[in-house]
Amino acid sequence: MKTYSVKEAYVTLQGEGAQTGRAAVFLRFAGCNLWSGLERDRESAVCKFCDTDFVGTDGENGGKFKGAEALADHVVSVWREKTRESVSKGYVVCTGGEPLLQLDEPAINALHARGFEVGIETNGTLPAPSSLDWVCVSPKANSDVVQLSGNELKLVYPQTEAEAQPERFAALQFEHFFLQPKDDNRQAENIAAAADYCMKHPKWRLSLQTHKLIGLP
Ligand SMILES: C[S@@+](CC[C@H](N)C(=O)[O-])C[C@H]1O[C@@H](n2cnc3c(N)ncnc32)[C@H](O)[C@@H]1O
Ligand SMILES: Nc1nc2[nH]cc(C(=O)O)c2c(=O)[nH]1
Ligand code: SF4
Ligand SMILES: [Mg+2]
């Protein structure tokens, strides 16, 4: 039976993109294919600006889960701990790390069977199962994006590489196109640059990481 490694799982409000403000279980899988997660490897990683600790299984409600049923039961218990609505109205956002290294059809089916809608945050380097209810792809420079359709494309901005410019993605099959200012030591300039791009190219909308503004995880 497959074991799923989960860094943490908690109820918060989706802070980013078109589902901003919606209560969800954030199910953060351990591990990523574009960075080891160790600070000593950051500068040599493909993805250098990650704002997330996805190493290990030691976070809030983290752990190793044997099989899709155990994983989905755990998500139910996290949802019930916080939320006054039944699981049949539940929403789970699978993230990481890179969730598609682990999230598979049996896990999605088990979450659906318990009544959850299932969303994903992915870097797009692995194909997303078509049974997902919401697919957010966030392409990274120097990676091969294979998931070229979905609900929203959310590009961290700016990325200097030519291949990671918004123009490269604007014709792909997504309902929503977002620029999300890169959270680093140039945050103010990054927000201004993203806002300016969205004004000049109205196909794109600004995605602020609103959870960070109000102190939510
Ligand atoms: C931590 S990632 C996990 C999911 C997946 N690995 C991915 O990159 O899409 C979740 C979201 O945070 C975004 N993100 C990561 N670091 C960021 C940063 N420093 N500033 C803004 N957004 C960031 C990612 O681009 C992605 O949309
Ligand atoms: N509140 C909140 N919203 C988010 N949207 C995407 C996130 C992620 O790290 O995948 C994230 C996150 O970490 N927290
Ligand atoms: S791909 Fe996603 S999880 Fe992996 S290092 Fe980049 S932002 Fe972080
Ligand atoms: Mg995050």
Q: What is the pLDDT of residues 46-104, one digit of tens each?
A: 999 999 999 999 999 999 999 999 999 999 999 999 999 999 889 999 999 999 999 99
Which amino acid would we find at residue 79? W
Kindly give the number of the ligand 3 atom that is closest to the alpha carbon of 32.
4
* Residue labelled with tokens 């250098």: 48
**Residue 28 labeled ligand binder:** yes
Residue of 172, 120, 162, 142 whose CA lies nearest to 49 = 142
Report pLDDT for 39. Answer: 98
Ligand 3 site residues, Cβ closer than 6 angstroms: 32, 34-35, 47, 50, 52, 54, 96-98, 123, 140
Query: Is any ligand 1 atom within 6 A of the Cβ of residue 50?
Result: yes
Q: Residue 149, Cβ neighbours under 10 Å: how many? A: 14
Report pLDDT for 100. Answer: 99
**Residue 95 labeled ligand binder:** yes
217 upstream amide cis, omega within 30 of 0: no
190 CA to middle of ligand 4, Å?
17
Q: Count of domains in the chain?
A: 1
What positions carry a catalytic annotation?
Answer: 26, 32, 47, 50-52, 121, 211
38 CA to middle of ligand 4, Å?
17
206 pairs with which residues across the strands? 179
Residue of 144, 182, 185, 178 whose CA lies nearest to 163 = 144
Report pLDDT for 89. Answer: 87
Please give the Cα distance from 128 to 67 (Å, whole number).
Answer: 19
Report whether 26 contacts 52 (CB < 8 A).
Answer: no
Q: Which residue ranges in the chain fall short of pLDDT 50?
A: none
195 CA to middle of ligand 3, Å?
23
* Residue labelled with tokens 């620029």: 179
Q: How far is CA 46 from the centre of its chain?
A: 17
ipTM over cut 0.85? yes
Question: Domain range for residue 97?
Answer: 3-213
Chain length of the chain:
217
Kindly give the number of the ligand 1 atom that is closest to the alpha carbon of 184.
19
CATH number at residue 157: 3.20.20.70
**Residue 180 labeled ligand binder:** yes
Please give the Cα distance from 49 to 61 (Å, whole number).
Answer: 25
Please give the Cα distance from 34 to 184 (Å, whole number).
Answer: 18
Report pLDDT for 136. Answer: 99
Kindly give the number of the ligand 2 atom that is closest to the alpha carbon of 13.
1
Identify which of 39, 121, 123, 183 to mutate to test ligand 3's pocket (most ligand atoms within 8 A of the CB): 123
Ligand nearest to the CA of residue 178, numbered in listed order: 1
Helix (H), strand (E) counts: the chain: 4, 9
